[in-house]
Amino acid sequence: MSDAIPTRSVSRQQEAGEVTRRETRRQLLRAAQEVFTENGYRAATVAKIAARAGVAVQTLYHAWGSKRDLLRGVLELAITGDEDVHIDRHELPRAMLAATDPAVRRDPRALLEHLVREFRILAERSAGVWKTYRDAAAVDPDIAADWSALMRLRRTNFEALFASVPDSSWRQGVSAEQAVDTLWAIASPQTHELLVGVLGYSYDQFEAWVLDTARHAVLDSDG
């Protein structure tokens, strides 16, 4: 009996400590999201983020490691909508593309509509982080390399998503590879920045433009 009491006590302390650590990470993540949006990556110092979260700078480093890691956490939050989900870099593009059922995969028009709808939802949730990543890439070579890798991996996943589309469904003169390149470019953070960020499109207008442009660019009129 004498040994059991300390064991339970230690276990409860460990559980309480883990809860506290997770909550601290969440607080810092939310604070980083706000500070990055308000200040941009370069001006969003760790001191500002820590102050917004109400913790010491050392606590930030202990919980997240670096400002760069916090930015990655903010991107993961934007993609998944879950503060507790961590995605390996090579899994991020897969998270960008929602799972599709076999019936949708066999219908190129339904598949394209699904992709555009999911891209619109992701864009609404992630636009601020995309802009922060773009700005951060200009001052941090590691982030620039990471963003470039994510874009290439996103292209790979577009290819996988449309692999089941028969060649006859693509517009005449457009190969499967060209179709994927075209869709990857149209449904991209860069296109979102131009139409929504620069020209002020609403998200309804943006979704309609992406779908209409993609259809005309790659699908056969009878596909």
**H/E element holding 95?**
helix 92-96
- Please report where in the chains the tokens 């598949």 appear, as a residue: 111
CATH number of the domain bearing residue 58 = 1.10.357.10
pLDDT tens digit sequence for 90-145: 555 455 554 556 666 678 898 899 889 989 998 998 888 888 988 898 889 988 98
* Angle between helix 141-161 and 108-137 (nearest 10): 180
pLDDT tens digit sequence for 160-200: 888 888 888 899 999 999 999 999 999 999 999 999 999 99
Cβ atoms within 10 Å of 47's Cβ, excluding its own = 11
DSSP code at position 4 = H
- Domain check: are 49 and 135 in the same one? no
The answer to whether 167 and 176 have CB atoms below 8 angstroms apart is yes
Instruction: Give me the domain span that covers residue 162.
Output: 88-223
The answer to whether 126 and 79 have CB atoms below 8 angstroms apart is yes
- Domain check: are 49 and 101 in the same one? no
- Domain check: are 122 and 73 in the same one? no
- Domain check: are 140 and 52 in the same one? no
Residue 223: pLDDT band (50, 70, 90) is very low
pLDDT tens digit sequence for 4-35: 555 565 566 565 556 678 899 999 999 999 99
What's the residue count for the chain? 223
**Overall pTM surpassing 0.95 (yes/no):** no
- The backbone torsions φ and ψ at residue 57, rounded to the nearest 5 degrees and listed phi first, read -60, -40
The whole-angstrom separation of Cα 181 and Cα 188 is: 11
Where is the domain boundary, 56, 86, 116? 86
- Please report where in the chains the tokens 């028969």 appear, as a residue: 166
- Predicted pLDDT of residue 13: 59
Q: Is the pLDDT of residue 77 over 80?
A: yes
pLDDT tens digit sequence for 53-62: 999 999 999 9
Encoded amino acid at 124, one letter: E
- Domain check: are 95 and 73 in the same one? no
- Predicted pLDDT of residue 135: 87
| Number of domains within the chain | 2
- Please report where in the chains the tokens 């996988």 appear, as a residue: 160
The whole-angstrom separation of Cα 75 and Cα 32 is: 11
The whole-angstrom separation of Cα 168 and Cα 164 is: 11
Nearest to 206 by CA among 135, 142, 117: 117
CATH number of the domain bearing residue 209 = 1.10.357
